[in-house]
Structure 1
């Protein structure tokens, strides 16, 4: 089996005359903790949208485990193991974490429509949901309404929800955005400790988090791959410092 799990070749997306992504060729290895960084407007979220099928490319291809998925619908990519989170959470505020994750697992198993009235009769699914919540540090608040949870816990719940689909590739779009400083490292630490057969591609602006999390970093500037390498290579790259990291690098 190839070590390459996700790949783009010459990926380009135009919005009228504006080029959001320009000839992006990216390779993500199986089990990697790969970070995608760049200044605002660099095309990072557009690239994630292209990877997940939210928008089609103007040119280029996307491959998942060697298969061309460029024309595959978003929900079919999820079924193939490519799952994402968003900058703004997509949670049901009136649900508890246990209800939320139980429903996600039921949907994965094709029986979600049966759970709306009661989850009492689905003990095995509820047990799996509880174990998953424990993995994400949410066991103690699994019965609380999501709307009252601290924001850091909401972000962890959203990642747990994505993980419930059993992804092989997990795309995280700024998972620590808006999370208080004392909770940010908890979020990335839990993600970093996920099983190594789950590949993680992370967009994040906090460079301390990126450098503590990533095994490889790709830098986007003006929609194109500007630099790529290990943490030590990127942190020492004078060009990257000049266009992005600045004096705090």
Structure 2
């Protein structure tokens, strides 16, 4: 029996008398494209912060490939393959695309902020950085600084930086937020092309993107799991229509 890529068991997070995450049990199968959706205030951000080690749970646990990582911090989880992007770009605005990707590769390989020092490393790092640029459709802007890129390209660059860490599980926090409509299709195409040995969790408000991308969808409401299922199952669920899609149950 295969091990799930990521799992939570009865995960709880309380802030004083407020329960932000209420006994959430979540399963991400190996190779799955799984969307996490819910209305504002549903607890999505708290849940992602629990997955990534930003917050410690009040109770319950987080497992990565069957290993309990609940006691690990952010960097320990990244080293084990749990990597995320953020709603707001975390880029160095004055670095070029090539420099940004080379830095990400060098950090992954333990070279720190001096990726050129180890003998023979420069060519290998540059080759990997160029390959990442090709995968994420950034080859044409390789020499451009990050701040000069379109917002859609900046989002692609941030995902490329995360992917440089060779994640086993990639958490994408609203990758299409603020991106013009004509660039969203490009982001979706790139995400669809990622290898299936990387399991992906997508947190997103763009429902067209969610339903186009996800194999499975989990709906959070008030810190709890309302339902979990395929895109067809979730989109036709009257409870989801009522609380998330804004449709009355009787319609």
Task: Give TM class, smaller chain.
Answer: over 0.9
Could you list the runs of 4 or more consecutive aligned residues of structure 1 that deviate by over 3 angstroms after TM superposition? Answer: none
1:153-164 aligned within 5 A: 153-164=153-164
1:153-205 per-residue CA deviation (whole Å, 9 max, x = no partner) reads 00000000000000010000101001011111211221121000100000000
Q: How does 1:51-200 map to 2 (within 5 A)?
A: 51-115=51-115, 122-200=122-200
Q: Name the residue aligned to 2:34.
A: 34
- 1:207 deviates by 0.6
C-alpha distance in structure 1 between counterparts of 2:39 and 2:111, whole Å: 42
Q: What's 1:210 paired with? A: 210
Looking at structure 2, the residues matched to 55 and 76 of structure 1 have their Cα atoms a distance apart, in angstroms, of: 14
Cα distance, 1:112 vs structure 2 = 2.0
Instruction: Please state whether the residue corresponding to 1:246 is helix, strand or coil.
Output: coil
Which ranges of structure 1 fall in alignment gaps of 5 or more residues? none
- Normalised TM-score (structure 2): 0.95
**Deviation by residue 1:43-89 (Cα, 9 ceiling, x = unmatched):** 11111110000110111100001110000111011010000000001
Question: Are the equivalent residues in 1 in contact too, given 2:22–2:223 (CA < 8 A)?
Answer: yes
Q: How many residues were matched structurally? A: 249
- How big is the shift at 1:142? 1.0
CA-based RMSD of the aligned residues comes to: 1.9
Contact 1:6 1:28 in 2 (8 A): yes
How far apart, CA to CA, are the structure 2 residues paired with 1:188 and 1:33? 12
Partner of 2:50: 50
Q: Secondary structure at the match of 2:113?
A: helix
Match of 2:241 in 1: 241
